[in-house]
Every structure is written in C-alpha cells, then in structure tokens.
Amino acid sequence: MFGALYAAAGSDQAQLVEAAREFSPRIDVCGPREITLDLSGLTRLFGDARTIAGELRRTAADRGLQVRVAIAGSRTAARLLVRHRAGLTIVDPGDDAAALAPLPLELLLAVRSGGPSGPPGPDADNGNAEICASFRRWGLHTLGEVAALPPADVAARLGQAGVQWQRLARGDDPAPLVPAVPAERFEQALDLDWPIDGLEPLSFVLGRLMDPLSAHLERRDRGAAVLHVRLHLVSKAVHERSLELPVPMRDARTLRTLVLLDLESHPPAAAIDRVVVAVDPTPARVLQYSLLTRPLPSPEQVSTLMARLDALMGEGRCGAPALIDSWRPGAFSMAPFAPLEAPSGGREGGEGGEGKALVVALRRYRHAVPARVLVEDGRPARVTTERRGISGGRVEKSAGPWRTSGEWWLADGGTDNPWDRDEWDVTVSDGATYRLFRERDANAWFIDGVLD
C-alpha cells in the first residue's frame, strides 16, 4: 500500500517532507510539491487506509500545508489519482486499474517527467509529448483505453517508450521505491569558554572535534573529500580554510595534522572563540594490496608529508612535475603529488624475458652551468668549466645545432619570457656526453645536462 501527497502551490517542501517522515521513513520526493510514501504495516499503528489518509492530511495542516492525499496499491496509481482528485482518495486493493480507467490521458505526462520512472533524458519531454499526441490521433482519451491496447501492437508502433506508458496507465510501478535519504551533515562545532590564541591549544580543540567526526564517517562508511574549518574570531571575523584531500580519508589524527599544518601557513588574525569543522563526504575507498609488489606509503602518510613540505617551502612549491604545451626547454607545471601503484607483471629483460629497449635520458641540471666553449669552423671544439664534477675537454663528436626560439610575443621590457638558443650534443675526451646551448642574444654558453 502506497500513499501520495500533493501540496498546494507555494508550499514549503521541507515542511512537506517532515510531515511525510512522521508516518514512514520510506518516502520518495517526486517533485517540489509531491511525495510518495510506503505505508506497508502502518494499519497496525493508525488503523485502516482512510484513517491513515486523514492523519496525513491533519499532520500537514498543522504545518500550514494544504494537501491532497491518495492511497492505492501502487505508487503510480497513487500519483495519478492525487493529481486528478482533490481531498482524500482511497482505492481498495486490486482496484487500481479500474480507478485509473476514467482518468484523462494527459496525467501520464506528469508521471513520465520524473519520479518513479527515473530522471528524464535531455529529450524526454519532447518524446513524451509525441507519444501522447500519437495516442490522441488514435482516438484515445483515457488511461483505461490506453491500458486496453494490445501490448505487442503498441511496442511495434511506439517502441519500449509506448509500452512503459501503457504500464503506467494500468498503475504498474516501473521500479521499486528508492527511499530518499535525509541530508546528513558531517559537522562538529565547539564554543570556547575562553578565547585561545596559538596552534598548541587549538590542537586539543581540534582533537575533540575530529574524533566524533571520524566516528560518524566510519559509521556511514564515508570518507572526507574536502575538509572545511571555520574559526570565529573575537574580532567578529571568520577565518575559513578548505583543504581538498587527495583521497577520501577519515583518520582523526591525520585530519587534525593537516588542519594544523595549513593553519601554520595561514594563521588567523585574532584569538578564536568558536571552532567549526565540516567535511564533504564521499564513499570510502577500498584498498586491495598485492602480494607481488611492495605497498606504497598510505595516502594519509603522503598527505601529511606533503602538508609539512608545503608549510616549510610555501604553498604551490611542492608536488609532481607535469608537462605543459610549450616548446620552452624544461617547461613544466606543478601538479599534486599522487603516486600510483606500480603494475605487476613478468620480468622485463634478463634471462627468459623480452629485452627492454635502450632509452637515452638527459639528466638536466637544476641551474644551467656556465661554460667556456672554443668554436672551430662553427662547431664546438673544446668545453671547459669551473663546475666541480664536470671535467670537460676536447670535443670528439658533436651533433647540432638545433635552433629554437619562442614566446617573444610575451616579452614586456625586462621579463625573461622569450628564449633564443642553439643546442648541441657533444662527446668530450673523458667519454661524457653533454647537452650544450648558446644564448644567441648574449652569445653565452651553458651546459644544460648530461646524457646517459
């Protein structure tokens, strides 16, 4: 047995939901003015269906709502009846099809626009209107006439969408009721008796807030995706910080450490008299370790380490390099550090394995090393430098030059955005192979890196 509530225009949806939840936890919000309820088993508490309908209407009236109430054997029948008839409508078990037969065909448009049949697609409204127009062209005006059509002929002419319309006209539910889960707030707050100033006393307060918040997340099998901290200051200002976590986590100690490290870099401007911690929940992650590879550090450990490095080096200075769409030598951007598990598999190279192709790698120096280069016939002939560990010597082999330039259109006065260089790969007498480049505008030579 199912019931449907349909409120008058301008009604408060939150009040309507509260009125429905007083009778059943299994409700489905079909729209801003419409709710369906699973009333199974309520006859033992309230009496027969008519008594339940009267109690529903009385409870809504206590909240200032004017509602229609319909009770039937299916959610679809209750929705169709409550939209057509005012007051209370009660349908005896097994009489859903007979009660729906005289109703006008256009009522199906309201039910097909969402609710029990699921959210509509981008072209659902146009498709429903076309099917309704087709039924009209066939001379049909009521739900009973649509329900009486041969299903095979409806499927041949209108496809599965037409068959779904016919099932709704009979009062059949296309899917089981999926109860609407009430919005759950994962938030903890604490009003302080005395203002605190400094991270050490704040650490104890955060510990008191993070423990119940972590327990709440664990009970709901959720993890924190974004951590929000609001510090109400004695100056009436609010210091807010939001931390986007790399993976869902709910360890109280880790969350507290991340907040403290972030506040160390962004301290509040005055003493604190109220602390609020909230999270944006997300489904918890499932970990599956391998027996063949060494596990990486846990995401909590990595997040804590990165937070400590950010507090030490500055925000945005730590992470993983990522290539950018530029021809500038050595150009990269800083991306969040998120290590991936190494893929497990067979051996590469060695005995019984396929040989791995050799790859030439350039170990680039963090800062290019100034060098003195003797040029003969337009090619480097000798390389010398004062950098320890780079012996230099006579150039035995050389390849180049590769001439590159760019971003000259971004130059504005003294900026160093543009580049204009010639690059060479040279092998010197000590056997090392270096990447050299010459800044053409300054006629200066540098060692960019060593080739392995």
By CB atoms closer than 10 A (0-12, 13-18, 19+), residue 308 is: middle
Residue 183 structure tokens: 């919005």
pLDDT(221) > 80: yes
Q: What is the pLDDT of residue 411?
A: 62
Are the C-beta atoms of residues 245 and 224 closer than 8 Å to each other?
Answer: yes
Percent of the chain with pLDDT over 90: 10
Mean pLDDT of 411-422: 68
Q: Which one-letter DSSP state was computed for residue 381?
A: E
User: Same domain, yes or no, for 128 and 262?
Assistant: no
Residue 334 lies in a domain: no
Q: Dihedral of the CA atoms 317, 318, 324, 326 (nearest 10)?
A: 40
Q: What is the mean pLDDT of residues 335-359?
A: 53
Q: How confident is the model at residue 164 (pLDDT cuts 50, 70, 90)?
A: confident
Q: Is the pLDDT of residue 31 over 50?
A: yes
The answer on pLDDT for 283 being more than 50 is yes
Closest to 379 (Cα-Cα) out of 324, 431, 422: 422
* 118 shares its domain with 145: yes
Burial 353-380 (b: 16+ CB within 10 A, else e): eeeeeeeeeeeebeebbebebeeeeeeb
Domain containing 72 equals: 2-170
The values of phi and psi at residue 100, to 5°, are -85, -20
Report the side by side order of strands in the sheet with 88-90. 27-31, 34-38, 2-7, 67-72, 88-90
Q: Does 360 score more than 90 pLDDT?
A: no
Q: What pLDDT does 113 receive?
A: 53
Strand segments (E) across 205-355:
222-233, 238-249, 272-283, 320-322, 333-335
**CA-to-CA dists, residue 244 to 66, 226, 229, 319, 336, angstroms:** 44, 5, 12, 14, 11
pLDDT of residue 232: 94
* Domain assignment of residue 395, yes or no: yes
**Same domain, yes or no: 127 and 198:** no
Top-ranked range on mean pLDDT: pick from 13-27, 169-183, 315-329: 13-27
List CB contacts of 56: < 8 A, sequence separation 6 or more. 3, 5, 19, 20, 23, 67, 69
Look at residue 152 and tell me if it is in a domain.
yes
Residue 351 lies in a domain: no
d(CA 113, CA 125): 7
* CATH code of the domain covering residue 292: 3.30.1490.100
Are residues 153 and 9 part of one domain? yes
Asked if 227 contacts 266 with a C-beta cutoff of 8 angstroms, the reply is no
200 and 151 housed in the same domain: no
For helices 49-62 and 13-21, angle between their N-to-C axes, nearest 10 degrees: 140
Final residue of a structural domain among 298, 326, 354: 326
* DSSP bridge partners of 2: 38, 72
Q: 265 and 384 share a domain?
A: no
Under 8 Å CB-to-CB from 388, ≥6 apart: which residues?
A: none
Same domain, 317 and 381: no
Pairing type for strands 88-90 and 67-72 reads parallel
Looking up residue 15, the CATH number of its domain turns out to be 3.30.70.270
Residue 292's pLDDT is 74
Cβ neighbors of 217 (< 8 A, separation 6 or more) are 186, 223, 224, 250, 279, 281, 284
pLDDT at 34 over 80: yes
- Tell me if 193 is assigned to some domain: yes
Is the Cβ–Cβ distance between 56 and 3 less than 8 Å? Answer: yes
Q: Which range among 47-61, 324-338, 422-436 shows the weakest confidence by mean pLDDT?
A: 324-338
pLDDT at 127 over 70: no
Question: Can you give the pTM of this predicted structure?
Answer: 0.48
Please indicate, yes or no, whether residues 141 and 35 belong to a single structural domain of this protein. yes
Q: 56-73: per-residue pLDDT in tens?
A: 888 888 888 888 888 888
Task: Indicate the pairing of strand 419-428 with strand 433-439.
Answer: antiparallel
Does a structural domain hold residue 356?
A: no
Residue 135 above 70 pLDDT?
A: yes
Shared domain check, 139 and 35: yes
206 and 118, same structural domain? no
Helix (H), strand (E), coil (C) string for 16-38: HHHHHHCCCCCEEEEECCEEEEE
- In this model, does residue 233 exceed pLDDT 90? yes
Segment 38-53 shows an average pLDDT of 83
Mean pLDDT on 95-106: 87
Residue 249 predicted with pLDDT over 90: no
Q: Which residues contact 335 (CB under 8 A, 6 or more apart)?
A: 319, 320, 321, 322
For the chain, how many structural domains are there in total? Answer: 3
Same-domain pairing of 160 and 197: no
| AA identity, residue 132 | C
Asked whether residue 338 is domain-assigned, the answer is: no
In a domain, 346, yes or no: no
Largest CA distance in the chain: 106
Q: How far apart are the first and last CA of the chain?
A: 76
Q: How many Å apart are CA 129 and CA 108, to the nearest integer? A: 10
Residues 166 and 95 in one domain: yes
